[in-house]
Homo-oligomer: A and B are copies of this chain.
Amino acid sequence: MGKPTTKDLAKAAGVSLATVDRVLNARAGVRQATVDRVQKAIRDINYVRDLAAADLARRKEYNLVFVLPEHDDEYVQQIRGAIAEAAAFLASERTQVSILRAPSSDPHKIVHTLDGLACAQTDGVAIMAPETPQVRDAIARLEARGIDVVAFVSSQPTAKNADYVGINNTAAGRTAAQLIGRFTSGQQGSVLVLTETMLARDSQERRLGFDQVIASFAPRLQAMPSMETYGDPARTARIIERALQNQPSIVGIYLMHHDIGETMRIIRAEGVAMSAVVVGHELTPRARTYLLDGSMDALITQDVGHLVRSSIRLLRAKATRRETVASQERIRIEIILRENMPE
């Protein structure tokens, strides 16, 4: 005869539907004795709430916003694709998700974007932006206004209520080092470490983990200091050329940034791609072709679809004070070789 409903519960507890509801939602204005009676009845008849029905009655809609970098590299495009895919599905679940863009390098504009979110219109925000004091404060302001926040891909360790949805970058760096160390076994030489900028916290953490593990391969491997491309092709070419001159025996290259296209183009042009073990981050279309043609050896990734869905689940759960399945929200550090590449 089906699961017990609020009606059954009301009858079992000898109260009305309204009181049952008050207890279920922990609303004030119910005598403790009554609360206890209802709670006992819940256990007695083994009542479980139908959350979908509750949502319906509340006729609540969720408006979620992703704040993404303005610079549109392949990785950000993938993220936008994943958001669009999720959004299409969520439309029938009373959830709207939209995207706002702000330049990563300009904290003021990011803050301006965040402050501009109307709390009546927004229930939660997933923010992908470098950690800065300004952004941290803007997040605090959002939370003060009752808007939930998750840190998306870029962690915000100083913003205490913003859950982080992304991989452990130190562990990712360790993984990269282990791969380079093992794939180069039998060889001896130096390892190039490249990134866009070491100002980014991700790069700092990845480098930290990388060094922890690369040390275990000393003295066979020496990791060189991090070199920053600043996203500038000319500079990148100069850096790499100089490195190759100074260090003739480069056996490994670690690309810490997700936007590897231009850097890989130069590395290939210099002719080291096939002889050195090259490890990078994120399975973008270009990274995929480099993996297939052998110029890259392994990729470390976090599934963008998973990142997006997890953020949405977290924000919705926060808004409704509901539980999530913890194991589902753990973002895995994936290792992609040619053999286990999806598709």
Interface window among A100-108, A144-152, A157-165, A328-336: A328-336
A325 contacts partner chain B, Cβ-Cβ < 8 Å? yes
User: What are the residues of chain B within 8 A of A309 when measuring CB–CB?
Assistant: 325, 328
B339 near A325: Cβ-Cβ < 8 Å: no
CB-contacts of A163-179 with B (<8 A): 171-172, 174-175, 177-179
Closest to A305 in B: B327
B339 near A332: Cβ-Cβ < 8 Å: no
User: What are the residues of chain B within 8 A of A174 when measuring CB–CB?
Assistant: 339-340
User: What are the residues of chain B within 8 A of A342 when measuring CB–CB?
Assistant: 330, 332
User: What are the residues of chain B within 8 A of A48 when measuring CB–CB?
Assistant: 91-92
B51 near A93: Cβ-Cβ < 8 Å: yes
User: What are the residues of chain B within 8 A of A61 when measuring CB–CB?
Assistant: 2-3
Determine which of B93, B297, B325, B333 lies in contact with A86 in the assembled complex, contact meaning CB atoms within 8 Å.
Answer: B325
Determine which of B2, B56, B85 lies in contact with A56 in the assembled complex, contact meaning CB atoms within 8 Å.
Answer: B56
17 A–B contacts, CB within 8 A, in A order: A3-B94, A50-B94, A51-B92, A53-B56, A89-B323, A172-B340, A174-B339, A175-B337, A179-B337, A182-B183, A185-B186, A305-B325, A306-B328, A333-B340, A334-B335, A335-B337, A335-B340
Binding site for B on A (CB under 8 A): 2-3, 48-53, 55-56, 59, 61, 82, 85-86, 89, 91-94, 171-172, 174-175, 177-179, 182-183, 185-186, 209, 213, 297, 300, 303, 305-306, 309, 323, 325, 327-328, 330, 332-335, 337-340, 342
Top 10 A-B residue pairs of the complex, sorted by shortest distance between their CB atoms: A186-B186, A333-B340, A335-B335, A174-B339, A175-B339, A52-B52, A175-B340, A305-B327, A178-B339, A51-B92
